[in-house]
């Protein structure tokens, strides 16, 4: 079986730099909250064009800390998408707030901004748009709604480091932006890691204290926080990789375009709204013959994965919200048709051609 994402190919290309920085950190014996975390936070600030960046232990913690910093809790409602990775919703439940879902747009698979307003109640405190698969959500409309109703915006940019709307990078557009550096993300480390970014200094100060046991100074605790720090080795690895992120994203876009060229007449290929820079964390296509195509690919040693087969409102863990099939028809339909093909910066174009040919042949045979 070929890899779905070839993390080793990427490592081998930057191996010397990675080993050098890891060795430096090991020799320094400074493993938690040292100069690499500080420098990586500075590099993220200048890359995204934000005032503050705080390294944390994961993308899930980034969301949890963002909600805590905004004092969102019991009795509050947070609007988000049912078509995401579970962590988005998990974080809302961590603070005791209620996730309120809004169906998605059938082309970008992001929250349908035109359906947000009808879900707003006096208890609504925030909106969490997710830039799914690396495609920015409709932030212009979401900001307009947030202003009108006095809501906060937390961007879940876990899949979209470097994605843009115009020349604004996602994560820098709402009140708080949250990133994940899980190894398979488009900017990934070699373990768990995350980042919270904001232009609001008070929120940044709060998050900085909350990530370290609510401690503003040694053995002083004014609030209860988390143990959620990005560690030095992961920060060091990310300092090497962030230098190449624009190059990696460009390669992802180029390879996505090759797939689209071959496949757009046979399946539903990803959309890129005007003025948007999609970073293709995943290359996801739709077909009503998904199972057949996936099975055929599998037979040829090509992996493909369904992101995501069950929308959030139908997850067992969220039974208490009493949702049922039919509540979010677009998300449900897309979960039944969508699947992702191998895509990573080092993937050969010849390979994309072959994968596409297998899909096209499979669909032709299926017709006759
Ligand atoms: C990966 C991911 C997260 C969680 O990030 P972790 O670093 O794995 O905790 C949150 N939201 C989305 C959309 C993700 O893809």
Q: Identify whether residues 254 and 230 lie together within a single domain.
A: no
103 lines ligand 1 (CB under 6 A): no
Q: Identify whether residues 276 and 181 lie together within a single domain.
A: no
- The DSSP element (H or E) to which 366 belongs, if any, is helix 349-367
Residue 189 structural domain? 7-102+109-243
Distance 63 CA to ligand 1 centre (A): 9
308 lines ligand 1 (CB under 6 A): no
234 lines ligand 1 (CB under 6 A): no
80 lines ligand 1 (CB under 6 A): no
- Calculate mean pLDDT across residues 203-208: 98
Strand partners, 98: 77
| CA distances to 16, 54, 208, 219, 228 from 31, in Å | 20, 16, 17, 19, 14
Distance 249 CA to ligand 1 centre (A): 18
Under the banding of pLDDT at 50, 70 and 90, the label for residue 368 is low
In a domain, 2, yes or no: no
pLDDT in tens, 50-71: 999 999 999 999 999 999 999 9
The closest of 284, 299, 300, 273 to 339, measured between CA atoms, is 284
Model pLDDT, residue 319: 96
- The DSSP element (H or E) to which 20 belongs, if any, is helix 7-28
Query: What is the phi/psi pair of residue 278, to 5°?
Result: -85, 135
pLDDT in tens, 270-293: 999 999 999 999 999 999 999 999
Q: Identify whether residues 113 and 204 lie together within a single domain.
A: yes
State the pTM of this model: 0.97
Under the banding of pLDDT at 50, 70 and 90, the label for residue 366 is low
Let me know: does 183 contact 190? Beta carbons within 8 Å. Answer: yes
Distance 221 CA to ligand 1 centre (A): 28
Model pLDDT, residue 180: 98
Q: Identify whether residues 232 and 274 lie together within a single domain.
A: no
Distance 60 CA to ligand 1 centre (A): 6
Q: Identify whether residues 167 and 287 lie together within a single domain.
A: no
130 lines ligand 1 (CB under 6 A): yes
| Pairing outcome for strands 283-286 and 338-341 | antiparallel
pLDDT in tens, 100-129: 999 999 999 999 999 999 999 999 999 999
Last residue of a domain, one of 209, 243, 277: 243
47 lines ligand 1 (CB under 6 A): no
159 lines ligand 1 (CB under 6 A): yes
């Amino acid at each position: 079986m070929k890899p779905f994402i070839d993390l080793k190919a990427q490592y081998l290309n930057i191996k010397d730099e990675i080993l050098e920085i890891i060795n430096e950190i090991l020799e320094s014996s400074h493993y938690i909250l040292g100069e690499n975390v500080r420098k990586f936070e500075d590099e993220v600030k200048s890359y995204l064009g934000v005032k503050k960046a705080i390294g944390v232990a994961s993308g899930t913690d980034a969301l949890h800390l963002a909600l805590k910093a905004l004092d969102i809790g019991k009795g509050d409602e947070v609007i988000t998408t049912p078509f995401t990775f579970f962590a988005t919703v998990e974080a809302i439940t961590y603070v005791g707030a209620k996730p309120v879902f809004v169906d998605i747009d059938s082309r970008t698979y992001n929250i349908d901004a035109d359906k947000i307003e009808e879900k707003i109640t006096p208890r609504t405190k925030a909106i969490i748009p997710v830039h799914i698969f690396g495609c920015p959500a409709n932030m212009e409309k979401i900001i307009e709604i947030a202003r009108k109703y006095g809501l906060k915006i937390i961007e879940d940019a876990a899949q979209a480091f470097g994605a843009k709307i115009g020349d604004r990078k996602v994560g820098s557009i709402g009140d708080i932006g949250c990133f994940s550096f899980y190894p398979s993300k488009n900017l990934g480390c070699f373990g768990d890691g995350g980042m919270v970014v904001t232009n609001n200094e008070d929120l940044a100060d709060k998050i900085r204290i909350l990530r370290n046991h609510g401690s503003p100074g040694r053995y002083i605790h004014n609030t209860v926080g988390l143990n959620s720090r990005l560690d030095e080795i992961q920060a060091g690895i990310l300092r090497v990789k962030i230098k190449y992120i624009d190059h990696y994203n460009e390669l992802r876009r180029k390879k996505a375009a090759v797939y689209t060229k071959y496949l757009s007449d046979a399946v539903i290929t990803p959309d890129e709204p005007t003025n948007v820079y999609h970073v293709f964390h995943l290359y996801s296509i739709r077909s009503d013959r998904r199972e057949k195509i996936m099975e055929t690919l599998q037979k040829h040693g090509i992996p493909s994965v369904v992101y995501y087969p069950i929308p959030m409102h139908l997850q067992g863990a969220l039974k208490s919200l009493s949702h049922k099939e039919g509540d979010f028809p677009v998300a449900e339909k897309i979960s039944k048709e969508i699947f992702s093909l191998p895509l990573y910066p080092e993937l050969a174009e010849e390979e994309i051609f072959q994968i596409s040919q297998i899909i096209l042949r499979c669909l032709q045979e299926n017709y006759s």
